[in-house]
Amino acid sequence: MRNLDPLVNDETAWAAFAERDRRFDGKVFGAVTTTGIYCKPSCPARRPKREHVVFYATAEEARASGYRACLRCRPDDVSRDSIAVRGAVALIEQAEEAPSLAELAAAVGYAPHHFQRLFSRALGVSPAAYARGLRARRAERHLEENDRVTDAIYDAGYQSPSGFYSDSRERLGMTPSAWRDGGRGETIRFVVADSPLGPLLIAATAKGICRLTFGEDEAALRRQFPNAAIRPDDGTIAPWVDGALTAIRQPEAAPDLPLDVRGTAFQEKVWQELRKIPLGQTRSYADIAAAIGQPGAVRAVGTANGSNPVSVLVPCHRVIRSDGTLGGYGGGLPNKRKLLAAEGITVAAPELPLVD
């Protein structure tokens, strides 16, 4: 396999085909030596044996090697689509101000509605969300170079600091390299604060809160980030600690706080979805699974919900069972009940001693 996207190797390519993973459409093409046909990963046709498949980074390369496009999955259309998506990404990245959907679609020769779907399917976010993420990443880069936060925010093209924080509310996950390596290179400050729900561990990097849990201590933090410099807070993160405590005491007055957390792609998708549940409302695990487009993944959603590293701020307590009972909670069911009660929700059904 030559010239592949550096993130796609033979193994991930085969896994993408095995799972008919649309996200890899346009990134890799699989050609079947026995039939002479090449497909995109999401092709609905039956899977050939692994030893009969070779991978190409582009449809052109597959054709140059003598393969023909599958009539069922039309991999060349994907190729055109991905060129359009890449073109739009380049436009967004070069632009001072994010282009509108209509401008982007016109520039790459697609109808806006169709292009929006295409783009979202390829990258998992809409063009507007992509532009917001890009702007936020630029702000982060500035933050690293320049700790005068407000300047950095204006430098990155935000109208106001509140714009920055409302964007960061939509986003999760930063500096993946540091997280992958147990937090190497990161300084994490923490406090154990008293709260109406008992002692709370609140920890943050320079970019945002990375852990908020009930009844944990420094040791838990060291287990999660074995390579980070862990320090008791010297006041640096005090405003975020206050904000987190407000989110517990008076949820309706909770400020938008920056988060610095990272999970698997699936976990992050679930956590993003949890952040969309409005104050005072609940969802079932099945609702969340449906909302992320994986209605069959109810159990996995429960697990991702349970592995949320920032309680309250990623409101996993707003997810209850379809039958109206509480379900599980890492911080203890009494705390889940209290958090919901503070938002005006009473869960009357009996608690079941079940684990999600």
Q: Which residues are at the interface with Zn ion (CB under 5 A)? A: 39, 43, 45, 70, 72-73
Residue 265 to residue 340: CA distance in whole angstroms? 28
Phi/psi at 210 (5° precision): -110, -15
Q: Which is nearer to Zn ion, 37 or 270 (CB)?
A: 37
Q: Which is nearer to Zn ion, 71 or 265 (CB)?
A: 71
- Please report how the helices 75-94 and 101-108 are oriented relative to each other, as an axis angle in degrees rounded to 10: 130
- Please report how the helices 265-275 and 161-170 are oriented relative to each other, as an axis angle in degrees rounded to 10: 120
- Whole-Å CA distances, 175 to 38, 75, 123: 36, 34, 19
Q: Which of 39, 43, 73, 210 is catalytic?
A: 39
| Kind of pairing between the strands at 229-232 and 187-193 | parallel
Contact (Cβ atoms closer than 8 angstroms) between residue 191 and residue 239: no
Compute the least distance from the CB of residue 45 to Zn ion, in Å.
Answer: 5
Compute the least distance from the CB of residue 29 to Zn ion, in Å.
Answer: 10
Q: Which is nearer to Zn ion, 43 or 245 (CB)?
A: 43
Residue 168 to residue 136: CA distance in whole angstroms? 7
Strand-by-strand arrangement of the 187-193 sheet: 209-214, 200-204, 187-193, 229-232
Answer yes or no: 316 catalytic.
yes
Q: Which is nearer to Zn ion, 59 or 326 (CB)?
A: 59
Compute the least distance from the CB of residue 292 to Zn ion, in Å.
Answer: 26
Compute the least distance from the CB of residue 39 to Zn ion, in Å.
Answer: 3
Residue 327 to residue 288: CA distance in whole angstroms? 14
Compute the least distance from the CB of residue 120 to Zn ion, in Å.
Answer: 22
Strand-by-strand arrangement of the 53-56 sheet: 53-56, 29-32, 37-39, 68-69
Compute the least distance from the CB of residue 123 to Zn ion, in Å.
Answer: 22
Answer yes or no: 43 catalytic.
no
Q: Which is nearer to Zn ion, 75 or 208 (CB)?
A: 75
Q: Which is nearer to Zn ion, 39 or 297 (CB)?
A: 39
Q: Under 8 Å CB-to-CB from 285, ≥6 apart: which residues? A: 298, 299, 301, 302, 305, 319, 321, 322, 327, 356
> Among all residues, whose Cβ is closest to Zn ion?
70
The residue to which tokens 């783009």 are assigned: 119
Which DSSP symbol is given to 98?
A: P
Compute the least distance from the CB of residue 19 to Zn ion, in Å.
Answer: 15
- Please report how the helices 333-342 and 238-249 are oriented relative to each other, as an axis angle in degrees rounded to 10: 80
Q: Which is nearer to Zn ion, 39 or 261 (CB)?
A: 39
For residue 319, count other CB atoms closer than 10 A to its CB: 28
Residue 288 to residue 284: CA distance in whole angstroms? 7
Q: Under 8 Å CB-to-CB from 237, ≥6 apart: which residues? A: 189, 191, 202, 204, 209
**Catalytic residue IDs:** 39, 316
